[in-house]
Structure 1
Amino acid sequence: MEYNQTLEKKYNFWIKVLSIAIPLVVAILFGVKLKDFGIDVEPLSFLPPIYATINGITALLLISAVIAVKNGNRKLHEMLMKTAVVCSCLFLAMYVAYHMTADSTKFGGEGIIAYVYYFILITHIVLSVIIIPIVLVTYVRGILGKYELHKKIARYAYPLWLYVAVTGVVVYCMISPYYNY
């Protein structure tokens, strides 16, 4: 793809907007309960195992994409990365929908396991916000054909995104015994 500076400026504008808007909207919606607005909807309590599975699939897609590009299969890499982005968007939509319809579940573990859980949870949440612009910049550099710059930032984007995807599954596995289904 031929490099287009105007297109890159448009992408960069949207990267900035999304990097600010996504965490803000999620934080706001996380505190919104549909029942508080008189909307009678059943809690979407079936969603946590689904979005945890999507996090697992995202992790597998990321690993597969790195293997594909290391083997010289750029087209497969691109397809896998686009699918990983879609999976992350699906996760986010389901996560917000669940929290808008259900009360938050408290972790019931005690002692050292509680410290482990909260460490994983906090790093997962913080990094999930931090990776938004990093992933978007990496993605845009790839689709614009700026492969050297893409590779430079992908060195950081990949392990951070992989950590967020894997810890999403771990957090679910640790808290799932405490869900009220």
Structure 2
Amino acid sequence: MLILTWWPYRFLSTQQPLIISAWNDLAGPDCDRLSTWAAKFNIIRFTALKVTSHKGLPLASTMSTTIIHEPNGDRAAALAEWALRHRDTLADRQARVLDVRNTSKERQVMTICALKEKKDVNTLQDERQFLRVVVPEPSFEKLHAYLGCSNCNKRTDVPAGETHTCLNYGQENVISIPR
């Protein structure tokens, strides 16, 4: 599977990347030709994509999907011209998407004021925000704390702070943390 993040011409006002998942035969040689796509911002056309129903508006390939590497026409030329003029904007957005997708293990705690300043222009749909809160008078009868996997939150018997392999999903190097 290959996931491409792009901003199609008519969706640019949404400020959110669109994800295209290519499966089976398309994930081979056709996608190999796209290895330099992210650096050059080439215009590529996909036909017969279907909408999937998770994380915004991602598209997935079908049995009849084709990738046209050098599309012709007025719309493709207009988009190529736009991409050339806005190369810095595209590079900034691409770096932001990669930063959100490849987050560090260290969580950045933000304030409520900083959270209120977030708008669709400076926030991505996959972005996670963390707030530190204090409950002034907690009801300890209703508190159910346990140690869980840092990835899936499922209960674990591994001591806090130790890395292990998640028994539920098989992911390695997850940490046991208080939940």
Q: TM-score, normalised on structure 1?
A: 0.23
Q: TM-score, normalised on structure 2?
A: 0.23
Q: Which has the larger radius of gyration?
A: 2
Higher relative contact order (Cα pairs below 8 Å, separated by 6+ residues): 1
Return the structure number with greater helix share. Answer: 1
Return the structure number with greater strand share. Answer: 2
